[in-house]
Structures are given as C-alpha cells and as structure tokens.
Amino acid sequence: MALYRELPTHVFENTAAIGLKSRSAVENDFVSSFLQRHLPANRLRKGEDKDLKYKTQNLDKVKKKKPEVINKKRRKGLTSRERKKLKLFDIKKEHQSYEKYIPMHKIWKDYIQDVLNIKSVNKDNIHAAQERLLKADFHGSCLTIQRSKCPSYVGVSGIVLQETRNTFKIITQEDQVKCIPKTNSVFVFEIGGYVFTLHGNQFCVRSAERCTRKFKLKGTIEI
Amino acid sequence: MYKRIVGKGHLPYAYLKIKLEFEDGALEPEIEAAMFKYFITQAIQSLHGEIGASHSVDVLKFRKRHLEAILRVSCSFLSKLWSSLTLVGNYKGQVCAFRVQQVSSHLMALSSNSRELNVS
Amino acid sequence: MAAPIEKSLPIGKLVFEKSSFKNEKSKHEEFIEDHHFNYAISCILPNCKRIPDILQSSCVGEKSFLVQDLPLIEVISLDLIEAFIKRGKLRMLSHGGTIDGDDCVAVLPTGHLILHLSKDTYQQLGLEGKPSQFPKRKKSKYIVDIDLTSPSFKPGKKGYNRVKWCFKDRLGLKFNFIATWTPSDNEVCPSSLQKYFTMKGCKCKPVKIKCNMKKYNDVLVPDIDPSQVDFDNMDYSYPDVFEWLGGFSCGIDLSCNPDDYLSTYSFNGPTRPPATCSYVQYSGYFSCQTVQSIIKSIRDSMEEWKLPWCSVTVQGFMDSPLSWKQREHGYLNNGDNLYTFIIFPDDSYWLYSAYGSYDLVS
C-alpha cells in the first residue's frame, strides 16, 4: 500500500515542469534520512543505518543526553601525576646548594635524638631504639652509601631531601642532587656516637606507610 | 711444519693425589700397595656395588710411609670414585679418612702444588 | 650405578703445538712471555747423569721476593708507575689467598692492575668492574681492570682520584705480594724494586727457591720422532707422551706391566735402551726471563750434552687471576695452567699447554 495519496492528475502530468522529484525516490530516501537524523553517532559509524533488518530502534521516547557536568569540587588539590607534570618535585637549580639544607639537617638531628632518646640508649634497649628508628622520618638525615650492587653509588653521601617508595633524593656536598634507589644498597648514618645501618632492600616502603608497617625481624641482608 | 691440535671434550683420564689419614696419635697400620688398592675397591663396592667395583682404578704410585697415592681413573668415573673415598670411615676398625689433595686431568700437574709455596 | 652426567665441564683441556725454534713465525717467545706467573720449572734430561750447572745458576739466581702487607695505594703511586712499571716488566701477584674464595690481585707488565674480588669486597670498594666468567651465571666474583699506564691515569684526574680514594678511605686493602721486575735497561739492577719497597716501609723477603733433584737408573725413555707429522699410524700419540712425562715427574715407576693388579698403565710407543735419566724441579717464583734463558741454554747445549730430547715444564700459580695474557683463570677441582716444551736436537719443539676447567683457551 502506498504511504501517501496519489497526486492529482494535473499536477502529476506537470511534474517535470514544477520540478518535483519522482515518488519512488522520496519513498526510498525517507527512512535513511530519518535514521541519519535520529540514530546516535556511534551506531551510525558502525553502519547500522544501512542494514536495519536485524536491529531494533525505538522511534519514540528518544532521550537526549545531558551535557556532563564535571565535578570539580571533589578533589581539592592536584593529583600526583599533575604535580609531577608541573615539576613540583624538582628542585630548582638555584636552590641546589648543600649549605641551604644544613639547618634542615640540624633540625632532623634534634628530632631523631628526641625520637630515639639517644642519651638513654644502652645495650639492653638498643633493640627498641631500632624499632623506633624504622618508623622515624628521614627527611634531612645525612646518609652515606656503604655498599651497593652498583659500585658507582658507593661512597655517595649527603642530606636526604625527599624520600619516595623506592628512592632517596640526596644533595651531596658538591651541590649535586642525586636520586638513589633503595634497592641493592646499604646506607649508613651516625648519631650520637652510634652508627646505624639501613638495608635498602628492606626499606622499600613510603615513609608515610612505614610507621604503620610491621617489619620482619630477620630479613636476608644479602644484596 | 707448524701444527696445532686442540683437544676436544673430556680428556681420557683423571688423576687424583690422595692421602689416607688416621686419627691423631693413633698407631697407623702398615698397609701394602696391594692392600691399599683392595681397600679402595672395597670402598667403591660398598657405595656403587659390583658394577662400580669392576671399573678399573690404577694405583700409579703409593708411598707406604706417608700413605699417599696417585690414582688414575677414567674421567667419567671420577665423581664415583671421589664419592666413595669421601664416605670411607674406617680401616679394619680404625677411624680414618681419605684426603683428596689434588685432582687434575694432567698427570704433570700433580708434580707440584703452588698452594704449598711457603715464603716465610 | 647412576647414569652418566651429560654436558659436564671437562676437568682439563690440552692443546698441542708442534713447530721449530727456527721457524720465523714461531711464537714460543711470546708464549712464554704471556704466561706471567711461573711457580715451578722442571726439566727432564734423558741420558744425563748430572744436572748442568747452567740450569742451577739461572734458577737459583732468581731475584723474586715477597712484599708483606703492601697497601694497594702504594701500587698506584706515581713513583712506582713511572720508575718501574713503565721502565721494565713488573709482575706482581698476591700471595696467600685462594682464587675461588678470596680477593686476588695481579700487576701485569702491560701496566694493568687486575683485581679479582669477591662479591663482598666488590660491593664495598666502589670501583666499576665486570662479573667473572667463572663460575658461569653465578655472579660471585668480579674483575676490576685498571690501566696504570693510561695517559689519563694521573693525580688530579677524576679516575685516579676515585681509585685512590677507594683504596685509601673505603677499604684499606692490603696484600702480600710476590714480585719480579725485569728492567728494560740492562744497567739497572732488578733488585732496586725491593729496595724501593723497603724504603716505603714494607718488609721484604726473598722467595726461597726449592730444588728437587732426582736421578733414575735404567729408565726406558720413549723414543720420540719429531719428524712425524701425524699420529694416525703410530703406536702412541701426543697425549701418551705427555702422560709419560707427567708420570716421570711424579716419580712413578713407569715400567710396570699392563697386567699388574695395581696399575694397568703402560707406554705403547718405542723406547730407547735403558739409561740414566735426571729430573730437576725448582719451585718458587720465576720471571719469564728466567724461563727464556733456560730454554735458550738448553737449546744451545743440546749437542754438547748429547740428549735425544729434553723437556721443560713450567707450572703457573693455581690462584693467579689470569693464565696467559689477560685470559681469565679460575679454580674448579684444579687451577692448572702449565706448559711443557719438548726440545729436540734439530731445534724443533713440541709444546703442550694444559688448562683446568675454568680457563679460556684461545
């Protein structure tokens, strides 16, 4: 059955003069142009408008998507990736001088002596002091690499500027900032007449997580 | 005129310089060369059985006074001989042990031992 | 009995060479010179009743000595490099440590300082090196190679300062060294090195040369025909001769019957009529020059002594970090590195070089 009523004969006879398209052409294009208008873009891309035999399409109740409102209020600061991109972790060239960090080291010294209670440390309670040391903060400590799998790290010494999960960022006395991986190295530092040794392999934890973490009593110290 | 031959794979024999030691202060029994060889064969037999014992072990040299000997075995049998010697515990009821002092596939190498260089 | 283990390392390797001293391309001199650390020299002289004095004098006159507790920092001092390493052939080897367990150090005449370090020392010392090839894959030993004669190895340069700091401040490494020095200038006395070390406050002692002489009567010496090219159609081959020489050196009675209960050893080749045969072994530490001069004097007086042939064996130190040139050396079951020259009256020679399993063969 035809979709529309036939045109009146006088119009029909003069179709060419008026410039009307032939009926069959309009009928064929109708569906495809309708689909072009209403199908979602991704389905159009798949070419679904060509072959509708096996596909269903709701013609009424088509919802239009609301434009997404980005919830900016959820996060206050920048993500860590963004911070890295902005080079917030990098220390500027003019700030890379050992002397600038000596006060920080002094503060750290006071802090660690406080934490360890260094004056009352003796043979019996040295173990407890070691436990406390594990949970202490190392920003500002002066570390020396005593042994390492990579020989060129051996002997590097300086103030810790930053600690990440796997590295220490150290400024040496020659004003060089060096990033030293904790794995496969053994660090040494000295406070109040005691020399403490840190085994880097066992120390690969973020400083914030370290204070709640339980350490194994006897790990292998081989590197 | 010029010729060079590089030996491939295993050399046919392995040589061992061994010493039979008894406990300090114990009276060392007199052992003849034939007895010594029999003792070694016994040791191999107890660990590796008849087939092991049928393998030939040559006692090239035996110093009766020091109970030292140079043995020759085929290279593939070296580890079996060595393991048998290690597990020897007594000679006719007396506690003893074999010390393997030098092992080499060149008999020439046993004629000296650079670890014995004593300067002082 | 267990199945044979496949793919096991051979416990020794043997290389045979045949050439003539007259051959222009013959590399015997380089070969001797490349074997740096000689522990023992032994000679077998068939048909000879007395050890010639010339051997005695050149071996006993060896000027090798031991330096006790020499700090490594002294080895890299500029005085030593300029006065001795660059003006002669200095060969030093640490003494007393084993190559498979301890640290070993060697100074080569090329001016290279080779440190063969255990993993512990290597990680604490702080000098870049590479893992040793032996044992394979198990990185338990490391080799550090320092070129002392390099033009950039000078005080004030970064590399030199690092090495100096590592030897001085990190680990005060000290070793007992045995040393020989062959000056390139003939007028300088080789013993001046000893004087230098004494001046630096180190105790020096001469390395005692031990001598072991033996004379055997009625020995059936193999009759070796040097003109033989191939061993295919013969009763004996080159390893048999080497075994005979080894047996003779160890004082083994080689005339035994193959049907004997004790030993089935026998030498199949032709033998010469029974004669008196002399054997001498000197052990201590010998410079390559001594070996050269011994071989030369034997060659010169072969005719005079009427020897059918003569063998000279030089054994290296088991615990040396290198065998020939800079080829790595290790210890597994044995640390063999030795060579034997069989010298014939017509100036041709047979050369055996014997290696242990942890050795590189060129």
Residue C191: name the closest of C60, C75, C64 by CA: C64
As to burial, measured by CB atoms within 10 angstroms (0-12 exposed, 13-18 middle, 19+ buried), residue A157 is middle
Inter-chain CB proximity B108 and C246 less than 8 Å:
yes
- Is residue C7 domain-resident? no
- Is residue A68 domain-resident? no
The answer on C153 and C56 residing in a single domain is no
> What is the Cα–Cα distance from A53 to C236, expressed in whole angstroms?
94
In this predicted structure, what is the pLDDT of residue A5?
Answer: 76
Query: Quick check: do C and A touch, 3+ CB pairs under 8 A?
Result: yes
Of residues B7, B15, B59, nearest to C14 (C-beta): B7
Domain count, chain C: 2
- Is residue B45 domain-resident? yes
The secondary structure of chain A, three-state, reads CCCCCCCCHHHHHCHHHHCCCCHHHHHHHHHHHHHHHHCCHHHHHCCCCCCCCCCCCCCCCCCCCCCCCCCCCCCCCCCHHHHHHCCCCCCCHHHCCHHHHHHHHHHHHHHHHHHHCHHHCCCCCHHHHHHHHHCCCCCCCEEEEEEECCHHHCCCEEEEEEECCCEEEEEECCCCEEEEECCCEEEEEEECCEEEEEEHHHHCCCHHHHCCCCCCCCCCCCC
Asked if B114 is an interface residue toward chain C (Cβ–Cβ < 8 A), one would say yes
The answer on C236 and C187 residing in a single domain is no
In this predicted structure, what is the pLDDT of residue A62?
Answer: 66
> What is the Cα–Cα distance from B77 to C8, expressed in whole angstroms?
13
Inter-chain CB proximity C126 and A146 less than 8 Å:
no
The mean pLDDT value of chain C amounts to 88
> What is the Cα–Cα distance from C288 to C90, expressed in whole angstroms?
11
The distance of C125 to chain A (nearest Cα, Å) reads: 7
Chains that touch C (3 or more CB pairs under 8 A): A, B
Tell which of C190, C206, C222 closes a domain.
C206
Inter-chain CB proximity A152 and C166 less than 8 Å:
no
- Is residue B37 domain-resident? yes
- Is residue A9 domain-resident? no
Considering only residues 143 to 202 of chain A, which have any Cβ-Cβ distance to chain C shorter than 8 Å?
146-149, 151-155
Considering only residues 212 to 251 of chain C, which have any Cβ-Cβ distance to chain B shorter than 8 Å?
229, 238-239, 242-243, 245-247, 249-251
Tokens of C327: 């080829």
- Is residue C2 domain-resident? no
The CATH code of the domain that includes A163 is 2.30.30.210
Please compute the mean of the pLDDT values over residues C332-341 and round it to a whole number.
89
The amino acid at residue C354 is A
Give me the helices (H) in chain C, please. 28-34, 53-60, 72-75, 78-80, 119-125, 158-165, 192-199, 238-249, 288-305
Asked if C13 is an interface residue toward chain B (Cβ–Cβ < 8 A), one would say yes
Of residues C125, C165, C169, nearest to A151 (C-beta): C125
- Is residue B96 domain-resident? yes
In this predicted structure, what is the pLDDT of residue C6?
Answer: 56
In this predicted structure, what is the pLDDT of residue B68?
Answer: 92
Asked if A133 is an interface residue toward chain C (Cβ–Cβ < 8 A), one would say no
Of residues B37, B106, B112, nearest to C354 (C-beta): B106
Considering only residues 124 to 163 of chain C, which have any Cβ-Cβ distance to chain A shorter than 8 Å?
124-129
Inter-chain CB proximity B108 and C264 less than 8 Å:
no
- Is residue C308 domain-resident? yes
Inter-chain CB proximity C166 and A155 less than 8 Å:
yes
> What is the Cα–Cα distance from C163 to B32, expressed in whole angstroms?
59
- Is residue C287 domain-resident? yes
Asked if B12 is an interface residue toward chain C (Cβ–Cβ < 8 A), one would say yes
CA C149, C151, C153, C155 dihedral sign is: positive
Of residues A146, A151, A152, nearest to C122 (C-beta): A151
| pTM of the predicted model as reported, rounded to 2 decimal places | 0.79
> What is the Cα–Cα distance from B114 to B112, expressed in whole angstroms?
6
Give A155-164 contacts, CB < 8 A, sequence gap 24+. A155/C126, A155/C165, A155/C166, A155/C169, A155/C170, A156/A180, A158/A98, A159/A98, A159/A101, A159/A102, A159/A104, A159/A105, A161/A91, A161/A101, A162/A89, A163/A138, A163/A139, A163/A206, A163/A207, A164/A206
Inter-chain CB proximity C16 and B78 less than 8 Å:
no
Domain count, chain A: 1
Domain count, chain B: 1
- Is residue C4 domain-resident? no
The distance of C6 to chain B (nearest Cα, Å) reads: 10
- Is residue B83 domain-resident? yes
- Is residue C181 domain-resident? yes
Q: Are the C-beta atoms of residues C141 and C44 closer than 8 Å to each other?
A: no
> What is the Cα–Cα distance from B113 to C249, expressed in whole angstroms?
13
The distance of B12 to chain C (nearest Cα, Å) reads: 9
The answer on C92 and C46 residing in a single domain is no
Residue to substitute from C123, C128, C171, interface A, most A β-carbons within 10 A? C123
The distance of C131 to chain A (nearest Cα, Å) reads: 11
The distance of B27 to chain C (nearest Cα, Å) reads: 25
Tell which of C160, C188, C206 closes a domain.
C206
Please compute the mean of the pLDDT values over residues C9-37 and round it to a whole number.
88
Tokens of C124: 């604490």
- Is residue B110 domain-resident? no
3-state DSSP percent of chain C in helix, strand and coil, to 5? 25, 35, 45
The answer on C118 and C169 residing in a single domain is yes
What's the domain range around C189? 65-206
In this predicted structure, what is the pLDDT of residue C187?
Answer: 85
Tell which of C188, C206, C224 closes a domain.
C206
Asked if A20 is an interface residue toward chain C (Cβ–Cβ < 8 A), one would say no
The answer on C281 and C201 residing in a single domain is no
In this predicted structure, what is the pLDDT of residue B18?
Answer: 94
The answer on C199 and C105 residing in a single domain is yes
Inter-chain CB proximity C262 and B9 less than 8 Å:
no
Question: How many interface pairs between A and C have CB atoms less than 8 angstroms apart?
Answer: 28
What's the domain range around B18? 13-22+30-104
What's the domain range around A106? 97-210
B82 CB neighbours in chain C (<8 A) are none
B119 CB neighbours in chain C (<8 A) are 66, 95, 176, 178, 205, 207-208
C340 CB neighbours in chain B (<8 A) are 108
Cβ neighbours of C324 (radius 10 Å)? 22
Question: What pairing do the DSSP bridges indicate for beta strands C141-147 and C112-118?
Answer: antiparallel
Q: pLDDT digit string (tens) for B49-93?
A: 998 888 889 999 999 988 999 999 998 899 899 999 999 988 888
- Is residue A154 domain-resident? yes
- Is residue A55 domain-resident? no
pLDDT above 90 covers a percentage of chain B that reads 52
> What is the Cα–Cα distance from C173 to C343, expressed in whole angstroms?
44
Residue C200 has pLDDT above 70, yes or no: yes
Q: Are the C-beta atoms of residues A150 and C122 closer than 8 Å to each other?
A: no
Asked if B11 is an interface residue toward chain C (Cβ–Cβ < 8 A), one would say yes
Chains that touch A (3 or more CB pairs under 8 A): C
The distance of C237 to chain B (nearest Cα, Å) reads: 12
The answer on C343 and C252 residing in a single domain is yes
Q: Give the pLDDT band of residue B28 (cuts 50, 70, 90).
A: confident
pLDDT in tens, chain A (223 residues): 566 777 788 887 787 777 776 666 666 777 778 777 777 777 777 776 676 667 776 667 767 777 776 665 666 788 888 888 888 888 888 888 899 899 999 999 999 888 888 888 888 888 888 888 888 889 999 999 999 999 999 999 999 998 988 999 999 998 889 999 999 999 999 988 888 898 888 888 888 888 888 777 777 777 7
Of residues C122, C128, C170, nearest to A155 (C-beta): C170
Asked if C263 is an interface residue toward chain B (Cβ–Cβ < 8 A), one would say yes
3-state DSSP assignment of residue C93: strand
- Is residue B61 domain-resident? yes
- Is residue B64 domain-resident? yes
Q: pLDDT digit string (tens) for C172-189?
A: 889 999 999 988 888 888
Q: C206 to each of A190, B65, C61, C178, C283, how far by Cα in Å? A: 45, 33, 11, 9, 13
Q: Give the pLDDT band of residue C339 (cuts 50, 70, 90).
A: very high
The answer on C201 and C71 residing in a single domain is yes
Inter-chain CB proximity B3 and C19 less than 8 Å:
yes
> What is the Cα–Cα distance from C87 to C188, expressed in whole angstroms?
10
- Is residue B118 domain-resident? no
Q: Are the C-beta atoms of residues C310 and C299 closer than 8 Å to each other?
A: no
The CATH code of the domain that includes B51 is 3.30.70.3250
The answer on C201 and C222 residing in a single domain is no
Residue C5 has pLDDT above 60, yes or no: no
Q: pLDDT digit string (tens) for A22-51?
A: 666 666 777 778 777 777 777 777 776 676
